[in-house]
Amino acid sequence: MVKRSSNKVFILFLLTYSLVFAGDIRDILNSYFKEEREQSYSDNRVLVLSKTYAEFNPIGGFADGRYKLINYRLEKIEPNIYFLELDFQKKKGSFRFNQKVQYYIWYDGNVIAFKTYKGKYKYYVPKPSKKVIKRGNEYIIQEEPTVFNVVLPARGGKVYLYLLFR
């Protein structure tokens, strides 16, 4: 009987300990992941789609052709200004050729402008389309994200950029 009561005391101790110090643990974790939380709350309405590609024609001709997007980084600098870095790769036999392209983007919800080495390119973003779906006796209006493609100049070629606006 003594063993059961000691188990109950131990369980009761664990429960009170976890309730008392749970707030401290939450605060520590929140402070640790503060940057990630701020990034997740930020206005991530623009995404780069994986079907983005580039065509480069450097001097020499051995690395000409279509390059596949392998990675991108879209970083918010100011409220409407983003920095976009695109990494492209082409495989030719056992060789791999890499290209890195960087753009500054200004986006306010209606207009998107890209700063390239040839100047500024400005486009109007179309409004998201709305779709009506019938489920049973009810009609549901659903907004579909807008896919927008842009051809931008890059040093030695062109970038065919596909953006998704939520």
How far is 129 from 123, CA to CA, in rounded Å?
A: 18
How far is 56 from 69, CA to CA, in rounded Å?
A: 13
Long-range pairs for 107-114 at CB < 8 Å and ≥24 separation?
A: 107/46, 107/80, 107/82, 108/80, 109/45, 112/148, 112/163, 114/150, 114/152
Q: What is the pLDDT along the chain (166 residues), one digit of tens a residue?
A: 555 566 676 666 655 666 555 556 556 555 655 554 554 444 556 777 888 999 998 777 778 889 999 999 988 888 888 899 999 999 888 889 899 999 999 888 888 899 999 989 999 988 888 888 888 889 988 888 888 899 999 998 999 999 888 7
**Largest distance between two CA atoms of the chain:** 87
- Total-model pTM: 0.66
Q: Residue ranges per domain, the chain?
A: 2-39, 44-165
Phi and psi at residue 41, to the nearest 5°: -80, -15
